[in-house]
Amino acid sequence: MQIDSNLIARLGEMTCIELSPGEMEALAADLAQVAAGMERMGEVGFDADGAEEGAAGDGGIANVLRDDEPRPSLPRELALASAPAQDGGAFVVPAAFAAPAPAVSG
């Protein structure tokens, strides 16, 4: 796969990210390294679908998750004791996203 400025520009358009020429050059170099690594994996016959169980170095361990059972948790007052801000028994945090703009009719 050829990583060129056209591909990087298209990726920027698709993701709605404005990239400076320097950022485009750095991203092209990073993606070229990723593509080269994928090519090397193909050369050694890497096949995730055909890999034997335990081949990923997990020692054959399977399903190490515990059963999901209810158990006592931290009391609300204790959990909120060090909160910088709280309201009605809940943490108050800054908004992560701006409110959507009102729809324009007409």
Residue 29 lies in a domain: yes
Average pLDDT score over residue span 79-102: 84
Residue 22 lies in a domain: yes
> Domains in the chain: how many in total?
1
Residue 53 has pLDDT above 70, yes or no: no
pLDDT of residue 40: 85
Run of H or E including 74: none
Domain with 37 in it: 5-43
CB atoms within 10 A of CB 35: 13
Please report how many Cα atoms fall inside a 13 Å half-sphere around the Cα of residue 70, on the Cβ side. 0
Whole-model pTM? Answer: 0.42
Residue 26 lies in a domain: yes
Residue 10 has pLDDT above 60, yes or no: yes
Residue 63 lies in a domain: no
Reference 37, options 26, 27, 46; nearest CA is 46
Residue 10 lies in a domain: yes
pLDDT of residue 54: 46
Residue 79 lies in a domain: no
Residue 49 lies in a domain: no
